[in-house]
Amino acid sequence: MHAARLNEVKSREHNPRQSCEEGQTLISQAQSVRNDIITGAQLKRRVVFARNIKLFFGGPRHSLIDSSATRARKRLTRERCERICGLRPDGVITWAAAFPPSTWTASSMSNSAFDYVEEHIEQGLPVVWPSEIFEILNDLEVEEPLNLSSKYKGFLEAVRRSEQEKLTPAGPVPRLRV
């Protein structure tokens, strides 16, 4: 089963049109989830959101008994986590809310579809997130493994700065990708 899924992902790598279509579908899904959160002021899949945030900032767990194929998948997933963490806070939050890990990890999404989603997920106006998002992010800050992550603490500082900028009377401040 796993080998069949990996072959399907590899075949999409060689078909840029299919990867672009997949990326467009995923971006549409992300925009829909983001809009639902904003209009409903509630996150529907809290567990997925928290699992993603932990994975983004903690990476997949190492194991001495992993096969070489598993190590390669985890290495690519770790690289993807780094790239997601490089997005602006709204992009990271949207990604975490929109896609379960089974959608975007190394054995699930082609590299070109991942590239497309990474490039387009930050489109649109800055988002003022409901308080539930911040409650979850703050709760995760005191739980393992994120309580020891300087990268996660830096992300939270960026989230707080970003939210302050969005709420200033002069309006949103243009945000640069770091």
pLDDT digit string, tens, across residues 99-130: 999 999 988 899 999 999 999 999 887 888 99
CB-CB contact of 12 with 113 (8 Å): yes
Residue 81: inside a domain: yes
Residue 176: inside a domain: no
Residue 171: inside a domain: no
* Phi and psi torsions of 88, nearest 5°: -65, 160
Residue 40: inside a domain: yes
pLDDT, the chain, mean: 88
Total tally of structural domains belonging to the chain: 1
Residue 29: inside a domain: yes
Residue 175: inside a domain: no
CA angle 117, 118, 124 (to 5 degrees): 80
Residue 174: inside a domain: no
Band of residue 169 on the pLDDT scale cut at 50, 70, 90: low
Distance CA 92, CA 109 (A): 17
Distance CA 78, CA 61 (A): 10
CA angle 124, 97, 13 (to 5 degrees): 80
Residue 178: inside a domain: no
Give the residue numbers spanning the domain of 27.
2-166
pTM score, two decimals?
A: 0.83
